[in-house]
């Protein structure tokens, strides 16, 4: 027997899944069609921006061109042909080789500073050509020619050479060393370490003016002279001696001469000021020598002898600070004619204090001329005396 419930329930039907699927696909296609152009446009714009800021996704090789012509390079190009190499040739003689042959004894640099109807003139250092039997010049184009030595001077460390004018194509313009300023840029041109590095160029500044450097010519450990020089940090090495120190306008303001040769020292080189060198160059060119006044005595600084000798032998007063003593006198010399004797101690010339041999030479060589009358103050046997003499000519 069966029964039924009076509450009626709706009948459960089977779902249709195909319609929503098709509807979803259609909507998706429409969305893709709408979004795709915007996406591609954004990517393209991004690529353009990256290219604009230098991002190259596909780099290619390009040739880079750079114009390096500056005032400095123009100056060097202008000056370089006027700077030459100088070779000191000396004859080597021995018992096994009676035929003397000239061999290289040293090298340096030189500067062509003048040209006339017959010759070209070159300035270099005295120490570069000292002792040379022959002198060879290496021009800017590597041409080798022989040069004639017109004259050289130990105290200024300058020498003047000349060559046939046909070899000279460039001369340097002479400037002024007096007008240079500390910190001013300069260029050194020369042949460091020999002709292999001919025409080398270094750059620096003026580090100092009117420097005084002691010079020991006879290598006895005592200074014989004080050179007044320009200090520069432009590299100056062996072989640069005699080369050019120029300003940015290409004008010669100094003749490179030396550097401090100590392992712990870098960037300190020295150059002979052109204002000091020019009159000496002119004199060497015309006369072959530098005429300086002289006394006709062999003298030494008091500081070379013990203090006890000052008082016991020379009988000098305790308050005396220095001077030069006469060791020997040439016969008929200015000093001999003035009555000066051996062991007289000179303390002043024309009232200017003389404490050592350098001060005496400075007064004679820079302030006096041959034929000048000079008042000499000296001590003899402890007594202060004066005499006048006429300066002679140093031969």
Q: Tell me which residues are annotated as active site.
A: 127, 157, 241
The token pair at 84 is 């030459």
Q: HSE (CB half, 13 Å, CA atoms) of 341?
A: 6
The residue to which tokens 């000056």 are assigned = 79
Burial class (CB in 10 A: 0-12, 13-18, 19+), 31: exposed
d(CA 67, CA 97): 57
Closest by CA to 234, choosing from 212, 214, 211, 254, is: 254
Token reading at 357: 């041999």
Cα Rg of the chain (Å, integer): 42
Task: Using alpha carbons, list the distances in angstroms from residue 385 to 126, 303, 358.
Answer: 39, 21, 22
| H, E, C per residue of 281-303 | HHHHHHHCCCCCEECCEEEEEHH
Half-sphere exposure (Cβ direction) of 296: Cα atoms closer than 13 Å: 19
- Could you give the 3-state DSSP secondary structure of residue 85? strand
CB 230 within 8 A of CB 177: yes
Cα–Cα distance for residue pair 276/310, rounded to 1 Å: 37
Q: 48-85: buried (b, 16+ CB within 10 Å) or exposed (e) per residue?
A: eeeeeeeeeeeeeeeeeeeeeeeeeeebbeebbbbbbb
At a CB cut-off of 8 Å and minimum separation 6, what does 300 contact? 324, 325, 327, 357
């Amino acid at each position: 027997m069966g029964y039924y419930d009076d509450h009626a329930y709706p009948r459960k039907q089977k779902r249709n899944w195909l319609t929503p699927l098709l509807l979803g696909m259609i909507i998706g296609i429409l969305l893709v069609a709408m979004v795709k152009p915007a996406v591609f446009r954004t990517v393209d714009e991004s690529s353009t921006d990256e290219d604009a800021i230098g991002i190259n996704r596909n780099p290619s090789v390009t040739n880079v061109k750079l114009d390096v012509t500056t005032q400095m390079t123009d100056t060097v190009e202008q000056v370089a042909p006027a700077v030459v190499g100088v070779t000191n040739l000396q004859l080597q003689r021995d018992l096994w080789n009676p035929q003397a042959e000239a061999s290289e004894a040293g090298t340096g640099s030189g500067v062509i500073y003048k040209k006339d109807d017959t010759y070209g003139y070159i300035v270099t250092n005295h120490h570069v050509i000292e002792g040379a039997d022959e002198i060879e010049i290496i021009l800017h184009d590597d041409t080798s020619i022989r040069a004639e030595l017109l004259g050289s001077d130990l105290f200024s460390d300058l020498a003047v050479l000349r060559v046939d004018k046909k070899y000279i194509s460039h001369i340097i313009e002479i400037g002024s060393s007096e007008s240079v300023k500390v910190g001013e840029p300069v260029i050194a041109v020369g042949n460091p370490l020999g002709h292999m590095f001919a025409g080398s160029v270094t750059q620096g500044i003026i580090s100092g003016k009117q420097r005084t450097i002691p010079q020991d010519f006879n290598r006895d450990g005592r200074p014989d002279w004080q050179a007044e020089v320009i200090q520069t940090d432009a590299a100056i090495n062996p072989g640069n001696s005699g080369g050019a120190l120029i300003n940015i306008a290409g004008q010669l303001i100094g003749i490179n001469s030396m550097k401090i040769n100590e392992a712990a020292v870098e960037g300190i080189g020295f150059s002979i000021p052109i204002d000091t060198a020019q009159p000496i160059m002119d004199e060497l060119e015309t006369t072959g020598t530098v005429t300086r006044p002289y006394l006709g005595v062999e003298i030494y600084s008091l500081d070379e002898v013990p203090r006890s000798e000052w008082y016991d032998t020379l009988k000098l007063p305790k308050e005396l600070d220095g001077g030069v003593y006469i060791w020997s006198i040439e016969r008929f010399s200015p000093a001999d004619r003035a009555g000066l004797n051996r062991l007289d101690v000179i303390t002043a010339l024309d009232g200017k204090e003389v404490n050592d041999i350098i001060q005496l030479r400075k007064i004679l060589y820079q302030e006096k001329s041959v034929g000048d009358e000079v008042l000499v103050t000296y001590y003899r046997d402890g007594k202060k005396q004066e005499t006048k003499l006429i300066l002679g000519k140093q031969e």
